[in-house]
Amino acid sequence: MILFAVNNFSLKGISLNKYVPLGNTNLMVSRHGFGAARIGEGTPRDEIQELFNTLLELGITFIDTADCYTNSEEIIGEFLKDRKNEFVIATKCGCVSGKEEGVAYSPEVIRRNIDRSLRRLGVEYLDLVYLHTCSASVLRSGEAVDALLRQRDAGKVRFVGYSGDGEDALCAIGMGVFDALQVTFNILDQTALSEVLPAAERAGIGVVAKRPIANAKLLLPESPYFYQGAYWDPILSVLNEEGVWEDPLECALRFTLSHAVVASAIIGTTNVAHVRANVARANKGPLPLHVLKLIHELTSL
Write out the chain's pLDDT in tens, 301 residues. 233 334 334 444 444 458 999 999 999 999 999 999 999 999 999 999 999 999 999 999 999 999 999 999 999 999 988 888 899 999 999 999 877 899 999 999 999 999 999 999 999 999 999 999 999 999 999 999 999 999 999 999 999 999 999 999 999 999 999 999 999 999 999 999 999 999 999 999 999 999 999 989 999 999 999 999 999 999 999 999 999 999 999 999 999 999 999 999 999 999 999 999 999 999 999 999 999 999 999 987 6
The answer to whether the CB of 97 falls within 8 A of the CB of 123 is: no
**Looking at the whole model, is its pTM more than 0.75?**
yes
Distance separating the N- and C-terminal Cα atoms of the chain = 28
**Sequence ranges of the domains in the chain:** 21-216+259-285
CB crowding 133-158: b at 16 or more within 10 Å, else e: bbebebbeeeebbebbeebbeeebbb
Q: How far is CA 283 from CA 14, 113, 247, 257, in A?
A: 13, 36, 14, 10
CATH 3.40.50.970: does it fit domain 21-216+259-285? no
How are beta strands 180-184 and 126-132 bridged, if at all?
unpaired
